[in-house]
């Protein structure tokens, strides 16, 4: 089973396959994934999911829309919607309009590439052999109302659109510098207690409460009180805490194979295959089309000594069998891969070597062990200096002799330390693959240290200026996508960055970009930096409402993101190069905007300008941006 996108209790109407079959309404638990919408019997008293009652494959869906409620509908049937597929409409009743909107929105998003999307639909119910809207008496009768947009607003052209999911309101302005209270995490999908998970990485316990993980082995989840550390049991009955991002729900069954790289995109795959530089090196990744898979293969055949990458989609036959270049069909993907490990059969060469970054790069854990945030400085070794920042020197080192870390040594008098130490506990809980992970702090000595994940390619700004020659449009956009995803997570946690810019992003060994230094500016003790008229204030990344009234919000982060995109597409130029800070405040408040960089086409530039809307509330959300950028990337691939 793939990842749950949504889950809710709804009333479902019986489908009345025959004109005379009685109508009934039953409460069912609905679960939406990228592949299916399934409904289950549900034990309300025990709060437990029971047997599967039915499901519809996403591929078969032709339309998802609201339905007009029946006349005199009871309270629990006020918010119906329909999922139209081959068997006709499936009618579902949501508890509130908001939930209904959320589901329709999400479902439109997952079906948007389906082949047979309808252009017309029936806005009212089919009851006892008649459509209440148009009185037609054939269930298959063409719809009587034109849909506003065939793809339900999810154009594949990356146009701007309204927010995808209602987000909690953004605090417009923070009144004090006290840290925000920890926010409840957004509704989590993924495994629940009792679920079986598979370890993707080895994990060596660092505290007595931790449990060792062995790659490929199964574990049972016992408790998920902390989002980052779950209590689990291994097959021998040992129990303890494991980093939640080291395991994956026993889902599509591919997780246990080393060649499967679940969350890898095209250019990351190319980077990895090129770095390995082996003819026949391959991996299998999720395709940009939901629910599909792609084989990425590196080859030096035909005298191509530098080597190049080919990408083959795994196709499905009408019988549900899998095949690659030629029609050698297999019931499962592992069988298909085994076959092509021995036979090229239409591909440029056979699949010779598994290339996987699993063994090499275990992801960061939130903290080094469950509940650990104070780090013993005796466990740190310093290897080399990385740079000098606002708070002093940053060094690369090892924790316990083996884990790479970056250590910020906070120059005395540069930070309001007590406030920061309080806040660090909140920051530790923020975990996303596009955020630089805070591992912990050393506060028992002076200077205090901040210990974070280490990213070997350093600061994004330097990377843009020095390491990229002739970057492809996909590569630049993927960098922006990485940042937008990290920021969408911060936005969902109502956490404001306040200093988003290329200099505050870092690049890892695979070329993935991660956002760093979120919220830190609140603890800087330096008027030049904190006052909006100070020489170090990020004026070039600030919208008018920050420059004029110090009004920070997720929408001021959005403005900064637009400027960061501009930095990416100019390969690290200084925004408003010819203007000084005073001129910028005046001109930007008067409507001046950055020009279109040569490498950015009109559509990329329109994303930037949307972020620079004069009115904060008219700017997109990060969640919008993730979708828009994803659509654009899909078109480029
Ligand atoms: P500050 O935010 O305190 O001003 P920076 O975070 O900019 O300091 O750090 C200074 C330099 O150190 C950066 O430009 C970058 O090159 C390097 N650096 C900082 N953190 C890391 C890290 N986690 N991994 C790798 N390099 C880092
Ligand atoms: Mg910084």
Q: Residue 467: its pLDDT value, please?
A: 87
Residue 452 has pLDDT above 90, yes or no: yes
| Segment of 6-10, 185-189, 611-615 carrying the highest mean pLDDT | 611-615
Q: State CA 637 to chain mean position distance.
A: 19
From 380, 382, 383, 389, mutation site for ligand 1 pocket: most ligand atoms within 8 A of C-beta: 389
pLDDT (average), residues 539-546: 97
**What DSSP designation does 610 have?**
H
Q: Residue 17: its pLDDT value, please?
A: 76
* Angle between the N-to-C axes of helices 266-276 and 473-492, in degrees from 0 to 180, rounded to the nearest 10: 120
| Ligand that comes closest to the CA of residue 499 | 2
Of all atoms in ligand 1, which is nearest to the CA of residue 394? 12
Residue whose Cα lies nearest atom 23 of ligand 1: it is 454
Tell me the CA–centroid distance for residue 394 and ligand 1, in Å: 6
Q: 577: which 2 tokens?
A: 């190069």
pLDDT (average), residues 207-213: 89
Going by pLDDT thresholds of 50, 70 and 90, the confidence category of residue 148 is low
pLDDT (average), residues 62-90: 89
More confident residue, 131 or 363: 131
Of 1.10.3720.10, 3.40.50.1980, 3.40.190.10, 1.10.510.10, which CATH number belongs to 460-636? 1.10.510.10
Query: CA–CA separation, 567 vs 511, rounded Å?
Result: 17
Going by pLDDT thresholds of 50, 70 and 90, the confidence category of residue 194 is confident
**Which range (188-192, 484-488, 540-544, 556-560) has the least confidence?**
188-192
Contacts of 176 (CB under 8 A, 6+ apart): none
DSSP structure string for 346-382: TSSS---EE--STTT-PPPPSSSSTT--BPPGGGEEE
Burial of 141 (0-12, 13-18, 19+ CB in 10 A): middle
pLDDT (average), residues 53-68: 91
Catalytic (active site) residue 526:
no
Residue 319 has pLDDT above 60, yes or no: yes
Q: Residue 360: its pLDDT value, please?
A: 60
3-state DSSP assignment of residue 423 = helix
pLDDT (average), residues 596-624: 97
Instruction: Please provide the average confidence, as pLDDT, over all residues in the chain.
Output: 86
Of 3.20.20.60, 3.40.50.2000, 3.30.505.10, 1.10.3720.10, which CATH number belongs to 260-355? 3.30.505.10
Residue whose Cα lies nearest atom 19 of ligand 1: it is 394
Asked whether 285 and 259 are in contact (CB, 8 A), the reply is no
Going by pLDDT thresholds of 50, 70 and 90, the confidence category of residue 231 is very high
Going by pLDDT thresholds of 50, 70 and 90, the confidence category of residue 163 is very low
Tell me the CA–centroid distance for residue 120 and ligand 2, in Å: 53
Tell me the CA–centroid distance for residue 396 and ligand 1, in Å: 10
Tell me the CA–centroid distance for residue 456 and ligand 1, in Å: 11
For domain 6-146, the CATH class is: mainly beta
More confident residue, 149 or 324: 324
**How far, CA to CA in Å, does 582 sit from each of 521, 528, 589?**
21, 14, 11
DSSP structure string for 194-236: T-EEEESS-B--SSTTB--B-TT-EEEEEE-SSSSEEEEE-TT
pLDDT tens by residue, 7-60: 999 999 988 777 777 788 999 999 999 899 999 998 888 888 899 999 999 989
Residue 185 has pLDDT above 60, yes or no: no
Neighbouring residues of the ion ligand 2, judged by CB less than 5 Å: 504, 517
Burial of 433 (0-12, 13-18, 19+ CB in 10 A): middle
Q: Residue 150: its pLDDT value, please?
A: 45
Query: CA–CA separation, 347 vs 340, rounded Å?
Result: 9
CB contact burial 168-184 (16+ within 10 A = b; e otherwise): eebeeebeeeebeeeee
Tell me the CA–centroid distance for residue 386 and ligand 1, in Å: 7
pLDDT (average), residues 110-131: 84
**How far, CA to CA in Å, does 67 sit from each of 70, 92, 97, 117, 151?**
9, 9, 12, 17, 18
More confident residue, 62 or 161: 62
Asked whether 329 and 323 are in contact (CB, 8 A), the reply is yes
Number of CB atoms found within 10 A of residue 426's CB: 17
Residue whose Cα lies nearest atom 7 of ligand 1: it is 389
CA dihedral sign of residues 118, 121, 126, 129: negative
Of all atoms in ligand 1, which is nearest to the CA of residue 453? 23
Of all atoms in ligand 1, which is nearest to the CA of residue 520? 2
Q: Residue 356: its pLDDT value, please?
A: 81
pLDDT (average), residues 527-551: 92
Q: Residue 109: its pLDDT value, please?
A: 86
Q: Residue 171: its pLDDT value, please?
A: 37
Ligand 1 surroundings by CB, under 6 angstroms: 386-387, 389-391, 394, 406, 408, 436, 452-455, 458-459, 506, 517
Which CATH code is given to the segment(s) 377-453? Answer: 3.30.200.20
| Ligand that comes closest to the CA of residue 394 | 1
Q: Residue 597: its pLDDT value, please?
A: 97
Asked whether 83 and 30 are in contact (CB, 8 A), the reply is no
Q: Residue 173: its pLDDT value, please?
A: 34
From 384, 388, 394, 536, mutation site for ligand 1 pocket: most ligand atoms within 8 A of C-beta: 394
Residue 162 has pLDDT above 60, yes or no: no
Q: Residue 1: its pLDDT value, please?
A: 58
Q: Residue 149: its pLDDT value, please?
A: 56
Q: Residue 164: its pLDDT value, please?
A: 34
Q: Residue 258: its pLDDT value, please?
A: 84
| Ligand that comes closest to the CA of residue 393 | 1
From 380, 385, 387, mutation site for ligand 1 pocket: most ligand atoms within 8 A of C-beta: 387
Residue 119 has pLDDT above 60, yes or no: yes
Tell me the CA–centroid distance for residue 486 and ligand 2, in Å: 16
Of all atoms in ligand 1, which is nearest to the CA of residue 452? 23
Query: CA–CA separation, 180 vs 421, rounded Å?
Result: 13
The domain limits of the chain are 6-146, 260-355, 377-453, 460-636
Which of 210, 286, 499, 517 is flagged as catalytic?
A: 499
pLDDT (average), residues 601-630: 96
Of all atoms in ligand 1, which is nearest to the CA of residue 436? 23
Residue 477 has pLDDT above 60, yes or no: yes
**What DSSP designation does 180 have?**
P
From 386, 435, 498, mutation site for ligand 1 pocket: most ligand atoms within 8 A of C-beta: 386
Q: Residue 189: its pLDDT value, please?
A: 55
Residue whose Cα lies nearest atom 11 of ligand 1: it is 387
Of all atoms in ligand 1, which is nearest to the CA of residue 392? 3
pLDDT (average), residues 400-419: 92
Q: Residue 92: its pLDDT value, please?
A: 95
Tell me the CA–centroid distance for residue 387 and ligand 1, in Å: 6
User: Percent of the chain, pLDDT > 70?
Assistant: 92
Residue whose Cα lies nearest atom 12 of ligand 1: it is 387
Residue whose Cα lies nearest atom 14 of ligand 1: it is 459
Residue 174 has pLDDT above 50, yes or no: no
Of all atoms in ligand 1, which is nearest to the CA of residue 516? 6
Q: Residue 184: its pLDDT value, please?
A: 35
| Segment of 212-216, 377-381, 416-420, 462-466 carrying the highest mean pLDDT | 462-466
């Amino acid at each position: 089973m793939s990842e749950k996108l949504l889950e809710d209790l709804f009333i479902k109407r019986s489908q009345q396959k025959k004109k005379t079959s009685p109508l009934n309404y039953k409460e069912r638990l609905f679960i939406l994934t990228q592949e299916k919408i399934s409904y289950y019997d549900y034990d309300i008293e025990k709060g437990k999911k029971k047997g599967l009652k039915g499901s519809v494959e996403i591929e078969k869906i032709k339309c998802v829309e609201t339905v007009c409620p029946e006349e005199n509908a009871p309270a629990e049937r006020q918010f119906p919607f329909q999922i139209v597929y081959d068997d006709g409409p499936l009618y579902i009743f949501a508890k509130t309009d908001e939930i209904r909107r959320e589901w329709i929105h999400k479902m439109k998003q997952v079906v948007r590439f389906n082949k047979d999307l309808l252009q017309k639909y029936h806005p009212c119910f089919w009851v006892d052999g008649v459509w209440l809207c148009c009185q037609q008496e054939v269930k298959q009768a063409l719809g009587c109302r034109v849909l506003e947009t065939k793809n339900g607003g999810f154009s594949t052209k990356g146009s701007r659109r309204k927010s995808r999911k209602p987000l909690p309101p953004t605090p417009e302005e923070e009144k004090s510098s006290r840290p925000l209270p920890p926010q409840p995490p957004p509704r989590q999908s993924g495994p629940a207690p009792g679920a079986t998970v598979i370890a993707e990485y080895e994990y060596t316990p660092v505290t007595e409460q931790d449990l060792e993980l062995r790659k490929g082995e199964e574990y049972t989840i016992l408790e998920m009180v902390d989002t980052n550390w779950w209590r689990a049991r291994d097959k021998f009955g040992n129990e303890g805490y494991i980093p939640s991002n080291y395991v994956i729900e026993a889902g599509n069954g591919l997780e246990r194979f080393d060649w499967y790289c679940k969350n890898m995109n095209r250019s990351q795959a190319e980077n990895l295959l090129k770095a390995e530089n082996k003819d026949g090196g391959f991996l299998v990744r999720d395709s940009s089309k939901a629910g599909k898979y792609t084989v990425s293969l590196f080859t030096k055949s035909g005298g191509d000594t530098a080597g190049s990458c080919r990408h083959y989609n795994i196709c499905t036959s009408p019988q549900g069998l899998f095949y690659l270049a030629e029609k050698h069909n297999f019931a499962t993907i592992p069988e298909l891969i085994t076959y092509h490990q021995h036979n090229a059969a239409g591909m440029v060469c056979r699949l010779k070597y598994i290339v996987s970054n699993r063994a090499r790069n275990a992801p960061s854990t939130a903290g080094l062990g469950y509940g650990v945030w104070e780090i013993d400085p005796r466990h740190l070794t310093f290897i080399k200096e990385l740079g000098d920042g606002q708070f002093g020197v940053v060094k690369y080192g090892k924790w316990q002799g083996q884990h790479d870390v970056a250590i910020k040594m906070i120059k005395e008098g540069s930070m309001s330390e007590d406030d920061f130490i309080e806040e660090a506990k909140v920051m530790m809980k923020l975990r996303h693959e596009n955020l630089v992970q805070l591992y912990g702090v050393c506060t028992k000595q002076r200077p205090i240290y901040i210990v974070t994940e280490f990213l070997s390619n350093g600061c994004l700004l330097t990377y843009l200026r020095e390491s990229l020659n002739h970057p492809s449009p996909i590569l630049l956009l993927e960098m922006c996508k990485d940042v937008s995803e990290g920021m969408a997570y911060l936005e969902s946690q109502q956490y404001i960055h306040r200093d988003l810019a290329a200099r505050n992003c870092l690049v890892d060994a695979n070329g993935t970009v991660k956002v760093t230094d979120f919220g830190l500016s609140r603890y800087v003790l330096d008027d030049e930096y904190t006052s909006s008229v100070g020489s170090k204030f990020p004026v070039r990344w600030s919208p008018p409402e920050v420059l004029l009234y110090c009004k920070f919000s997720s929408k001021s982060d959005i403005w900064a993101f637009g400027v960061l995109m501009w930095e990416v597409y100019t390969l690290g130029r200084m925004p408003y190069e010819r203007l000084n800070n005073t001129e910028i405040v005046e001109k930007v408040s008067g409507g001046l905007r950055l020009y279109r960089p040569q490498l950015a086409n009109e559509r990329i530039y329109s994303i930037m300008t949307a972020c620079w809307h004069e009115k904060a509330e008219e700017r997109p959300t990060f969640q919008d941006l993730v979708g828009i950028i994803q659509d654009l990337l899909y078109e480029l691939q």
